[in-house]
Amino acid sequence: MQVSMTVNGQQRTDEVEPRTLLAHHLRDNLGLTATNIGCDSTSCGACTVIVDGLTVKSCTVLALQAEGSEVTTLEGLAGPDGELHPVQAAFRSEHGLQCGFCTSGMVMAAVGVLADNPNPTDREVREGIEGNLCRCTGYHNIVRAVLKAAESGPAAGQVPTAKQEVTA
């Protein structure tokens, strides 16, 4: 079947099997491999992307369900000149990533957390990213990074292409 969606600001139309998961569509058909798959049970969140302003686990969404949608992945988060999104910048400055496998999903989830709650507490950040697992950092520096990104103001909860707030 044919599926069309806007991915990181670009219109994409592709032939997919109806059962194709959005995560596989992004990775295998569109070559956007920053989105990772870490489990089979919607548990780890490594595949988190933003669809029409909502953070979703793309391993649990069919590509066809994103028909006509605006999809943002990690690759679409930085500015056109390569300037890091506030959440990306904070993950770097706070050492919020080690092996990097959870990072794409964690960054997208963090954008969603900050859209919903621009000034979260330590506890609220932890609750916000509970659906995203990390084995390397013990979450300590991820939480620091999200709190640091919050200092950047509303931009930390926005994605650049759609210029819309994201609802967690």
Partner 1 sequence: MSILGTRVVRTEDPLFLTRGAVYTDDLTDERLTGALHATFVRSNVAHGTVTSVDVSAAKEAPGVVAVYTAEDLGDLQPVPPPLPFLDAGFSRPWLVPVGGRVHFVGDLVAVVLTEERYQGEDAAEQVVVDIDPLPAVVTTKAAATDETVLFPEVGTNKVAAFGEPAPEDFFADCEVVVRREIVNQRVAAAPLETRAASAAWGEDGRVTIWCTNQGAQQAKGQIAGWLGLDPALVHLVTPDVGGGFGAKIGADQEYAFVAWLAQRSGRPVRWTESRSENMTGMLQGRAQDQVVTIGGTRDGKVTAYSLEVTQDCGAYPRIGTVLPTLTMLMAAAVYDIPKVHAQATCYATNGTSIGAYRGAGRPEATAAIERAMDLFAAEIGMDPAEVRRVNFIPTFTEPVTTSSGATYDSGDYEAALDRVLAAAGYAELRAEQARRRERGDVRQLGIGVSAYVEITGADSGHGTSENAELEVHADGTATVLTGTSPHGQGHATTWAMLASEQLGIPVEKITVLHGDTDRIPDGGGTMGSRSLQQGGAAVHQAAVELVEVARKRAAELLEANPDDLEVDLANAGLSVRGTPGVGVTWAQLAADEQLIVQTTFTANAPTFPFGAHVAVVETDVESGKAVVTRLVTVDDAGTIINPLLAEGQRHGGIAQGVGQALLEEILYDEDGNPQTSTFADYPFVSATELPSFELVEMATPTPMNPLGAKGIGEAGTIGSTPAVQSAVVDSVAHLGVRHVDMPATSMRVWRAIREAQKGSTN
Residue whose CB is less far from partner 1, 68 or 79: 79
18 vs 2, 3, 31, 73, 156, CA distance in Å?
A: 9, 9, 19, 21, 35
Which of 10, 39, 54, 153 is in the footprint of partner 1 by CB under 8 A? Answer: 39
d(CA 137, CA 66): 32
d(CA 161, CA 90): 20
- List 7's β-bridge partners, or say none: 10, 71
Report helix, strand and coil shares of the chain as percent, to nearest 5: 35, 15, 45
CB atoms within 10 A of CB 167: 13
Task: Report the nearest approach of partner 1 to the CB of residue 133 (Å).
Answer: 5
Which of 139, 148, 149, 161 is in the footprint of partner 1 by CB under 8 A? Answer: 139
Is residue 135 part of the contact set for partner 1 (CB under 8 A)? yes
Is residue 10 part of the contact set for partner 1 (CB under 8 A)? no
Interface with partner 1: number of residues (CB under 8 A): 58
Residue whose CB is less far from partner 1, 25 or 68: 25
d(CA 37, CA 49): 12
Is residue 72 part of the contact set for partner 1 (CB under 8 A)? no
The interface with partner 1 within residues 90-119 (CB under 8 A) comprises 91-93, 95, 97-104, 107
Residues that bind partner 1 (CB under 8 A): 17, 19-20, 24, 27-28, 31, 33-36, 38-44, 46, 74-75, 77-78, 82, 84, 88, 91-93, 95, 97-104, 107, 122, 125-127, 129-130, 132-144
